[in-house]
């Protein structure tokens, strides 16, 4: 009898039968409040009726068109619709299946377009698990250990993770930008640097929002040296942060934006968007793949976008996010075990630390497991896996947030009491 490989690490023992909205129902009929959303994917909730209908209708018409052989209607319609939400000027798109593939594609595009070998990433960033994307990932050695040699040409600068450094945000930002300039002078000259790859909020790295001064500093250096600013919005895009794009909070304009996860409510689809003039610097046929832009995924993405806009899910993410952040902070105020609670929109992280401020992985893991036992599914993240994150579907309502906070409060008081 075959079994699932033990190399997969399972966050919970739950075996799901079906999902509806913010709930998952397991094979024993137990209901779980899903504050993981399939790692930030099921933006419209599990099996939103409009998404289900769009996918079902598309399945009966065309499943696979292969977009470098023929075009199909959902692909063209999605592209046109994304034009209405993408940052201005980023109106040239192509598709892949996963976030990692989008990162790889942007890496190829950046190198082709600039003729430069290096990229700079920011410590704590997660960009994927394929070897190139893992080479650019610094959110934990668990993603890159043992698979080397990693790709050359990746250099790491600090991210303004103020809590980690024990500084205020301004000091952390000044430090990060100064170290970036030092990296330019000592390791990767600007004219050897093709791109910055950065997340507007560190996701796997611990739910740490960037800030306006930091991203403006990157933009300034990108403009001064002809370096591309690639924003990895795989986790932060599509309303997750309470604005349509994570970078909308910071007023920065990217050269390339990467989308996946929330884009298609759970169907595999990712996209790479840039200006046409930038795309034209690579050459036809240099990107593509068998499955990218799958017809059913595109139909699901069109329905997802429609639901997000029609039902005000971006605004809901902002409001429910505030409720969740405030509630999680009140819970943290009652214990010394949670040193920081932060986030943007429906990305909320609680960082567990010991009395002397060291990462407290054991308590965070205990809390995550206890929450699962009480019907609240959560994940951990951060370099030390000591941040418990809440990332519910964007359709979550006020009562469901209260319910999650009630369970979280009980769990925290039990595991830290």
Residue 93 in tokens = 């798109």
235 near ligand PMP (CB under 6 A)? yes
Kindly state the smallest distance separating residue 224's Cβ from ligand PMP, in Å. 26
Q: Cα separation of 185 and 377, whole Å? A: 46
> Contacting ligand PMP (CB under 6 A), which of 54, 86, 103, 269?
103
The residue (of 147 and 362) whose beta carbon lies closer to ligand PMP is 147
Q: Cα separation of 256 and 114, whole Å? A: 13
Helix (H) or strand (E) holding 415: helix 398-416
> Contacting ligand PMP (CB under 6 A), which of 124, 203, 293, 345?
203
Burial class (CB in 10 A: 0-12, 13-18, 19+), 395: buried
The residue (of 198 and 332) whose beta carbon lies closer to ligand PMP is 198
The residue (of 100 and 400) whose beta carbon lies closer to ligand PMP is 100
> Contacting ligand PMP (CB under 6 A), which of 35, 67, 94, 126?
126
Residue 387 in tokens = 């941040």
Kindly state the smallest distance separating residue 144's Cβ from ligand PMP, in Å. 13
Phi first, then psi: give them for residue 319, nearest 5 degrees. Answer: -70, -50
Kindly state the smallest distance separating residue 37's Cβ from ligand PMP, in Å. 12
39 near ligand PMP (CB under 6 A)? yes
At which residue do the structure tokens 């240099």 appear?
Answer: 286
Q: Cα separation of 260 and 300, whole Å? A: 13
134 near ligand PMP (CB under 6 A)? no
127 near ligand PMP (CB under 6 A)? yes
Site for ligand PMP in 240-299 (CB under 6 A): 260
Q: Cα separation of 123 and 388, whole Å? A: 19
Burial class (CB in 10 A: 0-12, 13-18, 19+), 124: buried
207 near ligand PMP (CB under 6 A)? no
Q: CA Rg, the chain, in Å?
A: 21
Residue 190 in tokens = 């600007």
- Number of residues binding to ligand PMP, judged by CB under 6 A: 15
Kindly state the smallest distance separating residue 166's Cβ from ligand PMP, in Å. 25
Residues that bind ligand PMP (CB under 6 A): 39, 98-100, 103, 126-128, 199, 203-204, 232, 234-235, 260
């Amino acid at each position: 009898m075959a079994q699932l490989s033990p190399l997969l690490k399972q966050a919970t023992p739950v075996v799901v039968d079906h999902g509806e909205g913010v709930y998952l129902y397991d094979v024993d009929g137990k209901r779980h409040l899903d504050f993981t959303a399939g790692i930030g994917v099921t933006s419209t909730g599990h099996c939103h009726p409009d998404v289900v209908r769009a996918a079902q209708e598309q399945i009966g018409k065309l499943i696979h068109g292969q977009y470098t052989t023929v075009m199909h209607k959902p692909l063209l319609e999605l592209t046109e619709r994304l034009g209405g939400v993408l940052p201005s000027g980023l109106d040239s798109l192509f598709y892949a299946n996963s976030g990692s593939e989008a990162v790889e594609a942007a890496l190829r595009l950046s190198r082709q377009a600039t003729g430069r070998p290096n990229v700079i990433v920011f410590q704590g960033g997660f960009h994927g698990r394929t070897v190139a994307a893992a080479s650019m990932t610094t959110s934990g050695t668990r993603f890159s250990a043992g698979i080397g040699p990693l790709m050359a040409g990746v250099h790491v600068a600090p991210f303004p993770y103020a809590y980690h450094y024990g500084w205020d945000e301004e000091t952390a930002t000044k430090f990060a930008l100064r170290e970036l300039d030092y990296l330019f002078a000592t390791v990767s000259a600007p004219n050897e640097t093709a791109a910055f790859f950065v997340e507007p909020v560190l996701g796997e790295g611990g739910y740490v929002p960037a800030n306006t001064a930091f991203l403006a500093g990157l933009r300034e250096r990108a403009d001064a040296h002809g370096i591309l600013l690639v924003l990895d919005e795989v986790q932060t895009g599509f309303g997750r942060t309470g604005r349509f794009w994570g970078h909308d909070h910071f007023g920065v304009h990217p050269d390339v934006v990467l989308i996946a996860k929330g884009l298609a409510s759970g169907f595999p689809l990712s996209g790479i968007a840039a200006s046409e003039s930038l795309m034209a610097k690579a050459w036809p046929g240099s990107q593509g793949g068998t499955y990218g832009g799958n017809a059913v995924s595109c139909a699901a993405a069109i329905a997802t976008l429609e639901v997000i806009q029609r039902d005000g899910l971006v605004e809901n993410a902002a409001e429910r996010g505030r409720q969740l952040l405030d509630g999680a902070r009140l819970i943290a105020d009652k214990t010394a075990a949670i040193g920081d609670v932060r986030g943007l929109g429906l990305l909320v992280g609680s960082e567990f630390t010991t009395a002397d401020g060291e990462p407290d992985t054991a308590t965070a893991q205990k809390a995550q497991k206890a929450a699962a036992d009480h019907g609240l599914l959560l994940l951990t993240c951060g370099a030390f896996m000591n941040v418990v994150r809440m990332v519910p579907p964007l359709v979550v309502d006020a009562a469901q947030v209260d319910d999650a906070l009630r369970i979280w409060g009980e769990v925290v008081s039990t595991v830290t009491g």
